[in-house]
Structure 1
Amino acid sequence: MKILNDPRYFILLFLLSFTMAGQLLLGFFQDWTDVLASVVTAVVLELIIVGFRYKTWKSPLSALITGLGIGLLLSSHLTWPYILTSVLAIGIKHALRIDRNHIFNPNNVAMVIMLFFLPQYAVSTPKQWTNGWEIMFIILFFGFLAAYKAGRMDTVLAFASGYALFAGIRHWGLGEPFYYAFGPMLGAAFQLFTFFMITDPKTTPSGRNQRIWFGFAIALSDAILRVAEVNHSLFYASFLVTLLIGLPLRIWKVMNNSRQAE
């Protein structure tokens, strides 16, 4: 079945389940109206852009995933930041493209812009997530399944191993408290980032060795930013590595394919 072969459906199932659990059981910060605002904005804008640009109908599945992801990751007392973040995510996805594919993970680049330029209105608060074993098991199950279906388990393992390595260096080498260094790995927010943000097939390298170095580079960048006491380091690390490593690799691949086609 097509659904079983498309990792996006597993991501969507996770996001829907976690959104429902967060709203009904876990007392998430976001209100229903905030989640609905981000989802509706992402889906409607996707339909409008695709309709005008390609003159055709295309399922807004990716936009639905983007909207739900923003509804989980972003925290604000106001509704308009959720709308703006969705506009940025979908707009940049269609505006910045190479070989008909988007350059940055939509959720990541939109969150980086909001966190950097509008920190008084938008934050990402991992403390809102429960670290109960039941929720962690659900996240890990869907995460491994989605990453496996996307062919990005190597990226997940490289990033997680690299993060653990640098957490150990920060703890035993720099004296950072053990829980502060390793604690984020037990949080659902960290696992969501690991399995669903840095494993985007469109924005990660196609080669296995390149993906391994890509995941490790994100862990290294995150460690440097944490030592520098930069908030929301995971978002910035992923963005910087995509910009400085992922993008040049994709440009080189496109140019190489063009030369071979001549």
Structure 2
Amino acid sequence: MSEQAATRTANRPDPRITALRRFALSITVFNILGHLVLGFEQAYITPVVAVLTAYAVDLLLETVEARTAGRPERYQGGPVALLNFLLPAHIAGLACAMLLYGNQSLAPTMFATSVAVGSKYVVRLRIRGALRHVLNPSNLGISVTLILFSWVSIAPPYHFSEDVDGPWDVVIPLVILAAGTMLNGKLTRRLPLILGWVGGFALQAVLRWAFFDAHLAAALLPMTGIAFILFTNYMITDPGTTPAAPRRQVAFGLATAAVYGLLVLAHITYGLFFALVIVCGLRALVIVGANVRERVTGAPAPGPDRPAGSPPAHEARAGAGPLPEPAAARSAG
């Protein structure tokens, strides 16, 4: 019985890969419908160029890193391995193409996509014995582009349903919300993070209304838009750059909402994206502190995703050899 159970476990599909595939399929279909039906403002060629850029950057950096480290490239092993490897890059490219608007220029989208994919190789920390990227890739690429190119903006929120009206104005957000909730509930298991983020967003709106004379309806209004639903279900919930423990997920969501509220009070635009970058950066500092404490004291420090009392990473993995970063953990966000 134990051998049969082990066989069933080994043959069971990795839920993280399944989540990436469904996410990639969802964002692909949404981009196609967006350009053909919904009224996306970008040129038709924009998502194509963005995805090809993401593929090229990811394959190049993976090849360089693998040869430098003397290990096989992660995309080796046949078409399925290549497909799984490129899923995060595919998602990052389409996310940048869908959310940025660079007028007639494709360069900002290509730049954002390159930053998104490249950040997974450049900004990494050791978590539970393996190097993992800690900044949400797509969100970072978009944020850096918005900072460096003042003439680039976020795609107008109305373009997600510009060319439809009537009941479709309600049906489309509900479909996106339902699909995202199922994905995060069954596969990424990030519903606590969503609850923390949505609850925190509502709380900061109420606090700005109570103490800073903000109009309550206006402060809550972003929650009704498709852009907010997309950010909530497909951006902030990136499993590769958010905590796994439910309590820490809630704290992560609350912190992002709090930083967003502070950015609004400071009259800083694009607060959703900048808030997520800041909170991911703060989480990275916590990880660095936990790693330093473990090295100095020799005692395991309860890091962002490691419960107190667990063995140090170097002891837990003694004799196990190098642990490559799982393909699903390289998600695009």
Equivalent-residue separation in structure 1 for 2:137 and 2:313 (angstroms): 27
**Aligned partner of 1:31 among 43, 46, 61:** 43
* AA aligned opposite 1:2: P
Aligned partners of 2:210, 2:180: CA distance in 1, in Å? 30
Runs of 4+ in structure 1 deviating by more than 4 angstroms, as ranges, are 259-262
Instruction: Name the residue aligned to 1:18.
Output: 30
Cα contact 1:205–1:249 (8 A) shared by 2 = no
What amino acid is the match of 2:35?
Answer: Q
Query: Which amino acid letter does the alignment assign opposite residue 115 of structure 2?
Result: L
The 10-residue stretch of structure 1 (203-212 or 121-130) with the greater mean CA deviation from structure 2 = 121-130
Asked whether the equivalents of residues 176 and 229 of structure 2 are also in contact (C-alpha less than 8 Å), the reply is: yes
Task: Look at both structures and tell me which one has the larger radius of gyration over its CA atoms.
Answer: 2
1:72 aligns with 2:98: yes
Shift of 1:129: 2.6
What residue is the counterpart of 1:248 in the other structure?
285
CA displacement at 1:236 relative to structure 2: 0.7
Corresponding letter in the other structure for 2:213: G
Q: Which range moved further: 249-258 or 234-243?
A: 249-258
SS at match of 1:98: strand
Query: Tell me, which stretches of 5 or more residues in structure 1 are unaligned?
Result: none
- Give distance in 2, aligned partners of 1:196 and 1:97: 21
* RMSD, aligned CA: 2.0
Percent identity, please.
27
For structure 1, which segment, 177-186 or 120-129, has the greater mean C-alpha deviation from structure 2 after superposition? 120-129
1:51 to 2:63 alignment: yes
Q: How far apart, CA to CA, are the structure 1 residues paired with 2:249 and 2:46?
A: 34
Give 1:2 deviation, angstroms: 2.5
The residue matched to 2:154 in structure 1 has which SS? coil
Structure-1 residue corresponding to 2:275: 237
Cα contact 2:125–2:132 (8 A) shared by 1: yes
Residue pair 2:39, 2:160 contacting (<8 A) in 1 also: no
- TM-score, normalised relative to structure 1: 0.92
Q: Which residue of 1 aligns with 2:327?
A: none
**How many angstroms does 1:86 deviate by?**
0.8
Matching of residues 61-140 of structure 1 within 5 Å: 61-77=87-103, 78-99=105-126, 100-130=131-161, 132-140=169-177
What's the counterpart of residue 2 of structure 1? 13
Larger mean Cα displacement after TM superposition, 200-209 or 230-239? 200-209
More helix by share: 1
CA distance in 2, matches of 1:98, 1:32: 37
User: Contact 2:40–2:160 at 8 Å: present in 1 too?
Assistant: yes
Which structure has more relative contact order (CA 8 Å, sep 6+)? It is 2
Q: Cα–Cα, structure 1 residues 237 and 216, in superposed 2: closer, same or farther, change >3 Å?
A: same
What amino acid is aligned across from residue 69 of structure 1 in structure 2?
A
| One-letter amino acid of the structure 1 residue matched with residue 178 of structure 2 | F
Unaligned 5+ residue runs, structure 2? Answer: 1-11, 67-71, 76-81, 162-167, 295-299, 301-311, 319-333
Q: Tell me the amino acid that sits aligned with residue 277 of structure 2.
A: F
Partner of 1:147: 184
* Matched residue count: 261
| 1:12 Cα deviation from its structure 2 partner | 1.4
1:229 offset after TM fit, Å?
Answer: 1.6
Q: Distance in 1 between matches of 2:51 and 2:28?
A: 11
- SS of corresponding position for 1:242: helix
Between the aligned partners of 1:124 and 1:236, the Cα distance in structure 2 is 16
Query: Where in structure 2 are the equivalents of 1:192-231 lying within 5 Å?
Result: 192-231=230-269
